Amino acid sequence: MNKYKIGVLKENGVTGILIHSQCYGFVARASLAHKDNHLYEVMGPVARKGFGTLLYQSLAKYANTVGGHIMSARDGDTRERAYGQWSKLHKTVGSRYLKALPDDLNENVIDSFGVDAAPLMLGYSLPASQSYIENLVDMNTSEDRDRLMSLWDNTSDYFSYSYDEDSTHWIDIDEPLDDKDKRVFYPLKAIIPVAALSVCRGLAEASLSDVEAGEISRTKGPLSCVVDVDGDMVMMNGHHRYVESLLLGKDHIEVIIEHNEYLDGFTADVDRPDKGNLFDGLESLRSADELLLIKNAYRRQVSQEAERSFSPNRYSENQPG
């Protein structure tokens, strides 16, 4: 999963956020105006088609790193696409990351949206993982400062263009991203390195114990996984098949990526592995001698079952063809 870099530019009480590809292609940008009570008003948000959620989640995570919350424009001028992003945050962000806004800050919003104002009447933050923090780049001190500042300056009118056009389709036409950075839509079947998956250690260990006891998987097909809010590929279903693939020495595996939270938003009903206790290879579960015995026994069992499946003795000689 390709993760995007997040440039941070602080100037005169305003923090610019610039999301770009590894090759410095523009993805999204916005500014955060610092208000009282650690609140940050989102100004001038603009993103390529399909990257709006990434932008708003990134803004909420950045606010978390400075102990604050983001809020919509207080003048009540929030366009339909932006309102959709605030609504998504409203539906998925846990209560511990919400902040009730003072009544005086909500007056214009209520006047503009009436009964639909609820998503715009709160401040939002999201937990900033280590993975997110590692992708933050201080544009003032970066060794790539000139390229980042040029990208920031050259995209300064993008919000006004998109506001007038009520669309951002023109960005992909005028400045297409490299193929490897383009937006991918899900679900998606793919073959990925087994090392690219974040797997629950406990479930991997339980699966290995089952194989050790001769209880191997009878399920066929690709594994199920999601790209989580940090951009990491996490295993959801298929732990036995995953462990058995490792026992066979495979270094790639077929998966179906069901959802991409990094780009499409947090999914509340996904049971995620504890990232503080991830599987770190078969060698972390058994000694080399034990693994050799398990591998040999597993391969013999697979071979024997394959022979039984295709044995001609399963059919009598007089059985109709």
All domains of the chain in start order, with CATH: 5-181 (3.40.630), 188-310 (3.90.1530)
pLDDT of residue 192: 94
pLDDT of residue 311: 60
pLDDT of residue 6: 96
Per-residue H/E/C for the chain: CCCCEEEEEEECCEEEEEEECCCCCEEEEEEEEECHHHEEEEEEEEECCCCHHHHHHHHHHHHHHCCCEEECCCCCCCCHHHHHHHHHHHHHCCHHHEEECCHHHHHHHHHHHHHHCHHHCEEECCCCCHHHHHCEEECCCCCCHHHHHHHHHHCCCHHHHHHHHCCCHHHHHHCCCCHHHCCCCCCEEEEEEHHHEECEHHHHHHHHHHHHCCCCCCCCCCEEEEECCCCCEEEEECHHHHHHHHHCCCCEEEEEEEEEHHHHCCCCCCCCCCCCCECCCHHHCCCHHHHHHHHHHHHHHHHHHHHHHHCHHHCCCCCCC
Q: Which residues of the chain have pLDDT under 50?
A: 315-321
pLDDT of residue 316: 46
pLDDT digits (tens, 9 = 90+) for 187-244: 999 999 999 999 999 999 999 999 999 999 989 899 999 988 888 899 999 999 999 9
